[in-house]
């Protein structure tokens, strides 16, 4: 029997930065400290022309971005070579007018950076849009991806998967992010073959990634866990650590989201002798 061999460590991060223009200094500082191999960003609020690719290149990151200015905008930064970039849901699926989804191969893994619609309220057309957006994401997985491949979906899902993921379930009754249709569509992502890697490491309630700027909610611990790293099983089985970096929510001019960092020790590619 051969003993376990050393794998390839890879660090994947995701961060809703709530304007990359307003947050660039903090993002640079954070990347230099945490050194993720792949970093998915959401809510860049930039046009592609304004995306600071050179800043990231100088730090050793290739990058891809899809933006529309003003709202939304997602990016993938990678120290590993980027290829096979796809914007949105891909061919054969009704395209989305908003810049919320971007796929790229980053070295050994296929990565998606996603910013799901907020939904606003259960009786809003934006809520219907949110559910249809998730239906199309599922369709994209079924059509274009394989659950046996190394796949990582990162981003702001705008869904708290269960009651552990909100500070007070009673306060959220009748709200978006916790409604049964949203949680049901989220469970279908898991049924397809994705794993919420944070929950492979932590069972406790009260571990959040987003806190409203208002009312000192961060300091009161009133948040939600809506920023997630979902990995296909071959990757999730290799998850060694996950961290929500709530320190990044502190200090001057923070995003209202904390980054999530996930380490994987991928199997070494073996070539035949």
Among residues 70 and 142, whose Cβ is nearest to DNA? 70
- Choosing from 61, 115, 127, 134, the catalytic residue is 115
Residue appearing with tokens 């997985």: 141
Among residues 69 and 90, whose Cβ is nearest to DNA? 69
**Shortest distance, position 180 Cβ to DNA, whole Å:** 21
- Choosing from 37, 96, 127, 156, the catalytic residue is 156
**Shortest distance, position 267 Cβ to DNA, whole Å:** 37
Respond yes or no: is residue 203 known to be catalytic.
Answer: no
Respond yes or no: is residue 37 known to be catalytic.
Answer: no
Q: Which of 20, 58, 57 is nearest to 41 (CA)?
A: 20
Q: Which of 200, 244, 241, 237 is nearest to 223 (CA)?
A: 244
Among residues 148 and 212, whose Cβ is nearest to DNA? 212
**Shortest distance, position 130 Cβ to DNA, whole Å:** 10
Among residues 146 and 253, whose Cβ is nearest to DNA? 253
Q: What is the DSSP letter of 140?
A: H
Residues 6+ apart with CB under 8 A from 39: 12, 13, 14, 15, 31, 61, 76, 77, 78
Q: Which of 78, 79, 83, 86 is nearest to 103 (CA)?
A: 86
CA geometry: angle 82, 199, 136, nearest 5 deg: 55
**Shortest distance, position 195 Cβ to DNA, whole Å:** 25
Using CB under 7 A as the criterion, which residues of the chain lie in contact with DNA when the complex forms?
Answer: 18-19, 21-22, 45, 69-71, 117-118, 120, 126, 213-215, 253
**Enzyme catalytic residues:** 115, 156
């Amino acid at each position: 029997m051969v003993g376990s061999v050393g794998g390839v460590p890879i660090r994947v991060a995701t961060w809703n930065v709530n304007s990359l223009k307003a947050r660039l200094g903090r993002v640079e500082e954070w990347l230099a400290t945490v050194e993720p191999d792949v970093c998915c960003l959401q809510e860049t609020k930039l046009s592609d022309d304004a995306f600071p690719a050179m800043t990231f290149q100088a730090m050793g990151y290739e990058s891809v971005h899809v933006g529309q200015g003003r709202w939304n905008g997602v990016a993938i930064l990678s120290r590993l070579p980027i290829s096979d970039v796809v914007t949105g849901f891909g061919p054969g699926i009704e395209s989305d007018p908003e810049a919320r989804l971007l796929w790229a191969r980053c070295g050994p893994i296929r990565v998606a950076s996603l910013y799901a619609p907020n939904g606003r309220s259960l009786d809003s057309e934006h809520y219907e849009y949110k559910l249809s957006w998730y239906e199309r994401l599922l369709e994209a997985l079924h059509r274009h991806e394989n659950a046996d491949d190394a796949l990582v979906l990162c981003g702001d899902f705008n869904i708290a998967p269960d009651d552990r993921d909100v500070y007070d379930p009673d306060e959220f009754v009748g709200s978006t992010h916790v409604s049964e249709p949203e949680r049901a569509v989220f469970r279908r992502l898991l049924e397809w073959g994705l794993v919420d890697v944070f929950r492979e490491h932590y069972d406790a309630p009260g571990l959040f990634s987003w806190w409203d700027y208002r009312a000192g909610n961060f300091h009161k611990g009133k948040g939600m866990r809506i920023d997630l790293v979902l990995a296909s099983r071959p990757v999730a089985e290799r998850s060694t650590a996950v961290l929500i970096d709530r320190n990044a929510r502190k200090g001057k001019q923070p995003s209202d989201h904390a980054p999530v960092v996930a380490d994987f020790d991928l199997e070494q590619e073996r070539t035949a002798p």
